[in-house]
C-alpha cells in the first residue's frame, strides 16, 4: 500500500466518470474540504485491511500532533504500478474509513472509489506537509520489480516520459533546451545537462556573492551520519519513513534529509563566545528525501534536492537586527528575478508550543518589526507556527500568476536545547543560542523549475546557458566571425559561433529556438567596417556597434544581473 499524506489548506475534486469495473455511487459530484489531512491511497495487490488500519493510525497521530480536525481518505491509483483488484481494494478502503471513525476524534471524510476525478490541492508550506509511506510488500509489486530488474537495459537511456505535457511546463521547455532529464534508474533525481547546470551554478554564484556581502561562511558536511544523530535531532521519530538508510558496521546510517543537525555538529566542535555571534553558516549540500515513486515529477517533486540553506546562530539581543538584515537579503534576491512575493507570518499556537510565552512574544514582535522595517506587507497566520518557534514563509508569484512557496525563515528554540548548544555570554556564563533556519530560493531544483516556467525559457542574459551566438552571413565572413567569437570568449561570455554553411535565416531560427539573448550577425559590411550588428530574441536589430561597446554594455548587464536586455 502506498500513501501520500498531505496537509492541505484545501482539497477539491469533481467526479468525471466511473473508471473501474466496481465503483461507489455518490450523490455529490463536487466537493471542497478545507484544512484537512489527506491520505492519497493506492491499494496494492495483496494488501490487507490491517495494513490500511496501520496507515490510518499513523496519519491520525500526525493529525493530532498538528491539530488537524479533518481526515480525508482519497483513493488514488497513481502511486503504484501494481494495484489490487477493484472489489478487494474497495474493501480495504472501507475498512480504513471504519477504523478512522473509531480512532480519530475529528471528522472523517472520503472520496468515492472507482471514479476518474479532477483533483486540486492547495498544500501547506511546512516541511512535513507532504509525506509518503508504504506498507507491506505487494505480491504483484515484487514480481514486477524482479522482471524490471532483468529488463533494465542500459544500452539505451530510459528517460522519464515527459511527452504530452503543456508547452509551458518546465519539463517540456527543459527538454527543448536540453537543460536536464529524469531517468528511470534514478527516480525523482535530476540529470543536469551542461546547459541546465549553468543555470544551477549561476544561481549558486549569485547566492554566494550575497553571502559574501552579508557575512556568511559556507560549509559542507557528510551525506551520511550514524542514526544516533537523527535520534537527537528528532528526525528518526518524525521523519524516518522519508529517510534513506544505509547499513554500516557501526550501526545504521541515515542519508541527510536536512542540513541542520550536521551544521550543529560543526558549531559544537569548539567553545563559542558571544563575540563570534551571529554565526551565519550557508550550505549547498545535496539532500535526499524518500517519496513513493508514483508521486514524483520533473523538478517539483523530487527525492534529491539542494537548498540555498543556511543556519544563523544568534544571542537573544541580536534577533531584531538579524531579522531586519535577513529580510533585506530576501528582498534583494527576489528583486533580481522581478518576482512578486507575499510574506506570511505564523505565530504561536496557544495549545502547542514549547518555551516561555514572553520569549515567543518578543520573537514575534521582532519578526513583525523586521517586516515593517523592510516595507513588507504580510499576512498574519495566527496559531500556525510549529511548536519550536515562529516563522515567516514567502509565497512567490510567477509570470503565470501561480504562487510558489520558496523562502522560509524559521526561528528555532528547540534544536539548540536538544543538542545542548551554548555560548559564553558577556557575563561569563553559558547561554543557549537561538537558531534561525533559512532558505531563500528554497530548493534549487524547484526554483529552477519555477524560473523555467516564469521566463518560459527566455532567461535574462546572466542566467542564459548560451548568451551570444556569432553568425557569419557568407563563407567569406567566417574568419571575422572567429575573431569576434574569440574577443567575446576573452570577456568570459558564454558564446558560440555558427559559421556553418547554412542560410542566415536558418541560423537565426536555430538561435531563437534556443532562446539565446543575443545574435551577432556578420556580413561583408560589418567585416569591412570592423563593426557588428546585434539582434535580440525578438528580432530587434542594432547596427554599427563595435565589439568593445557590446562587451562593455552586455558585460555590465550580466555582472549586474539585469532583468532586461541592453539591446
Member of 2, 133, 272, 437 binding Zn ion (CB under 5 A): 437
**With respect to Zn ion, which residue has the nearer C-beta, 391 or 437?**
437
Site for Zn ion in 449-468 (CB under 5 A): none
Span interacting with Zn ion, options 146-154, 179-187, 253-261, 398-406, rule CB under 5 A? 253-261
Catalytic, 133? Answer no
| Min CB(442)–Zn ion separation in Å | 12
Q: Retrieve residue 471's grid coordinates.
A: 553568425
Catalytic, 377? Answer no
| Min CB(35)–Zn ion separation in Å | 26
**With respect to Zn ion, which residue has the nearer C-beta, 177 or 435?**
435
Q: Quick one: which of 154, 135, 4 has its CA closest to 77?
A: 4
Do residues 13 and 117 lie in contact, with contact meaning Cβ atoms separated by under 8 Å?
A: yes
3-state secondary structure 80-123: CCCECCHHHHHHHHHHHHHHHHHHCCCEEEECCCCEEEEEEEEE
Do residues 174 and 452 lie in contact, with contact meaning Cβ atoms separated by under 8 Å?
A: yes
DSSP 433-451: PEEEEEEEEEEHHHHHHHH
Catalytic, 487? Answer no
Catalytic, 307? Answer yes
**With respect to Zn ion, which residue has the nearer C-beta, 7 or 308?**
308
Span interacting with Zn ion, options 190-198, 224-232, 437-445, 532-540, rule CB under 5 A? 437-445
| Min CB(410)–Zn ion separation in Å | 7
| Min CB(392)–Zn ion separation in Å | 14
| Min CB(260)–Zn ion separation in Å | 3
The rounded distance, in Å, linking the Cα atoms of 408 and 310 is 11
Catalytic residue among 117, 391, 454, 535: 391
**With respect to Zn ion, which residue has the nearer C-beta, 115 or 388?**
388
The rounded distance, in Å, linking the Cα atoms of 476 and 499 is 10
| Min CB(235)–Zn ion separation in Å | 11
The rounded distance, in Å, linking the Cα atoms of 545 and 564 is 19
Question: How far apart, in Å, are the Cα atoms of 58 and each of 15, 41, 257, 295?
Answer: 28, 13, 20, 19
**With respect to Zn ion, which residue has the nearer C-beta, 262 or 295?**
262
Span interacting with Zn ion, options 104-112, 255-263, 313-321, 340-348, rule CB under 5 A? 255-263
The rounded distance, in Å, linking the Cα atoms of 113 and 52 is 15
Member of 179, 199, 260, 450 binding Zn ion (CB under 5 A): 260
Catalytic, 406? Answer no
The residue with cell 551577432 is: 520
**With respect to Zn ion, which residue has the nearer C-beta, 260 or 520?**
260
Q: Is the dihedral of CA 296, 298, 300, 304 positive or negative?
A: positive
Q: Retrieve residue 399's grid coordinates.
A: 509570470
**With respect to Zn ion, which residue has the nearer C-beta, 2 or 235?**
235
Catalytic residue among 171, 289, 290, 454: 289
Q: Retrieve residue 146's grid coordinates.
A: 524482479
Q: Is 135 helix (H, G, I), strand (E, B) or coil?
A: coil
The rounded distance, in Å, linking the Cα atoms of 516 and 510 is 9
Span interacting with Zn ion, options 32-40, 208-216, 429-437, 497-505, rule CB under 5 A? 429-437
Is beta strand 180-181 parallel, antiparallel or unpaired with respect to 217-219?
Answer: unpaired
| Min CB(443)–Zn ion separation in Å | 13
Size of the site for Zn ion (CB under 5 A): 2
Q: Residue 215: count other Cβ atoms within 10 Å of its Cβ.
A: 11
Q: Name the packing angle between helices 319-337 and 194-213 (round to 10°).
A: 140
The rounded distance, in Å, linking the Cα atoms of 125 and 442 is 11
Interface with Zn ion, residue 415, by CB under 5 A: no
**With respect to Zn ion, which residue has the nearer C-beta, 196 or 310?**
310
The rounded distance, in Å, linking the Cα atoms of 284 and 218 is 8
| Min CB(409)–Zn ion separation in Å | 11
Catalytic, 289? Answer yes
Do residues 446 and 454 lie in contact, with contact meaning Cβ atoms separated by under 8 Å?
A: no
Catalytic residue among 2, 110, 235, 260: 260
Catalytic, 356? Answer no
Span interacting with Zn ion, options 207-215, 276-284, 431-439, 519-527, rule CB under 5 A? 431-439
Span interacting with Zn ion, options 72-80, 258-266, 272-280, 383-391, rule CB under 5 A? 258-266
Catalytic residue among 7, 169, 309, 498: 309
Report the catalytic residues. 260, 289, 307, 309, 311, 391, 437
Residues that bind Zn ion (CB under 5 A): 260, 437
Amino acid at each position: 500500500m502506498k500513501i501520500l499524506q498531505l496537509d492541505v489548506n484545501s482539497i477539491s475534486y469533481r467526479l468525471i466518470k466511473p473508471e473501474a469495473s466496481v465503483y461507489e455511487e455518490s450523490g455529490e459530484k463536487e466537493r471542497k474540504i478545507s484544512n484537512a489531512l489527506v491520505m492519497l491511497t493506492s491499494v496494492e495487490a495483496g494488501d490487507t485491511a490491517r495494513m490500511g488500519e496501520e496507515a490510518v493510525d499513523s496519519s491520525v497521530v500526525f493529525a493530532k500532533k498538528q491539530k488537524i480536525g479533518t481526515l480525508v481518505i482519497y483513493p488514488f491509483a497513481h502511486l503504484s504500478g501494481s494495484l489490487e483488484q477493484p472489489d478487494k481494494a474497495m474493501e480495504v478502503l472501507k475498512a480504513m474509513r471504519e477504523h478512522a471513525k473509531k480512532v480519530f476524534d475529528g471528522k472523517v471524510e472520503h472520496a468515492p472509489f472507482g471514479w476518474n476525478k479532477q483533483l486540486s490541492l492547495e498544500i501547506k508550506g511546512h516541511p512535513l506537509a507532504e509525506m509518503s509511506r508504504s506498507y507491506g510488500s505487494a505480491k504483484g509489486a515484487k514480481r514486477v520489480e524482479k522482471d524490471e530488474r532483468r529488463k533494465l537495459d542500459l544500452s539505451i537511456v530510459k528517460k522519464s516520459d515527459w511527452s504530452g505535457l503543456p508547452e509551458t511546463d518546465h519539463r517540456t521547455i527543459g527538454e527543448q533546451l536540453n537543460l536536464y532529464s529524469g531517468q528511470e534508474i534514478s527516480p525523482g533525481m535530476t540529470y543536469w545537462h551542461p546547459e541546465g547546470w549553468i543555470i544551477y551554478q549561476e544561481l549558486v554564484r549569485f547566492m554566494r556573492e550575497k553571502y559574501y556581502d552579508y557575512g556568511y561562511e559556507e560549509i559542507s558536511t557528510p551525506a551520511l551520519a550514524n542514526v544516533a544523530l537523527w535520534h537527537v535531532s528528532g528526525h528518526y521519530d518524525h521523519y524516518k519513513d522519508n529517510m534513506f538508510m544505509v547499513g554500516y558496521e557501526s550501526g545504521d546510517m541515515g542519508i541527510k534529509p536536512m542540513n541542520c543537525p550536521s551544521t550543529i555538529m560543526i558549531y559544537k566542535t569548539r567553545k563559542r563566545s558571544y563575540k563570534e555571534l551571529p554565526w551565519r553558516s550557508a550550505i549547498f549540500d545535496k539532500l535526499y528525501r524518500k517519496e513513493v515513486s508514483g508521486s514524483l515529477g520533473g523538478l517539483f517533486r523530487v527525492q534529491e534536492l539542494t537548498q540555498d540553506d543556511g543556519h544563523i546562530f544568534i544571542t537573544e539581543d541580536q534577533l531584531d537586527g538579524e531579522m531586519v538584515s535577513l529580510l533585506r537579503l530576501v528582498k534583494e534576491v527576489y528583486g533580481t528575478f522581478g518576482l512578486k512575493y507575499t510574506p506570511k507570518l505564523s505565530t504561536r499556537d496557544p495549545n502547542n508550543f514549547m518555551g516561555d510565552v514572553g520569549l515567543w512574544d518578543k520573537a514575534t514582535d521582532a519578526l513583525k518589526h523586521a517586516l515593517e522595517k523592510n516595507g513588507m506587507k504580510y499576512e498574519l497566520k495566527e496559531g500556525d507556527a510549529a511548536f519550536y518557534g515562529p516563522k515567516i514563509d514567502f509565497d512567490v508569484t510567477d509570470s503565470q500568476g501561480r504562487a510558489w512557496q520558496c523562502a522560509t525563515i524559521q526561528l528555532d528554540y528547540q534544536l539548540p536545547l536538544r543538542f545542548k548548544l551554548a555560548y559564553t555570554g558577556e557575563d561569563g556564563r553559558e547561554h543557549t543560542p537561538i537558531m534561525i533556519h533559512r532558505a531563500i530560493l528554497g530548493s534549487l531544483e524547484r526554483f529552477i523549475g519555477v524560473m523555467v516556467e516564469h521566463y518560459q525559457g527566455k532567461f535574462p542574459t546572466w542566467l542564459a546557458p548560451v548568451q551570444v551566438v556569432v553568425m557569419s552571413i557568407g563563407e567569406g565572413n567566417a574568419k571575422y566571425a572567429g575573431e569576434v567569437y574569440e574577443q567575446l570568449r576573452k570577456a568570459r561570455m558564454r558564446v558560440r559561433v555558427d559559421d556553418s554553411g547554412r542560410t542566415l535565416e536558418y541560423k537565426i531560427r536555430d538561435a531563437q529556438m534556443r532562446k539565446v539573448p543575443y545574435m551577432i550577425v556578420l556580413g561583408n559590411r560589418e567585416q569591412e567596417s570592423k563593426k557588428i550588428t546585434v539582434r535580440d530574441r525578438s528580432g530587434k536589430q542594432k547596427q554599427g556597434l563595435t565589439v568593445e561597446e557590446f562587451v562593455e554594455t552586455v558585460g555590465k548587464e550580466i555582472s549586474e544581473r539585469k532583468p532586461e536586455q541592453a539591446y
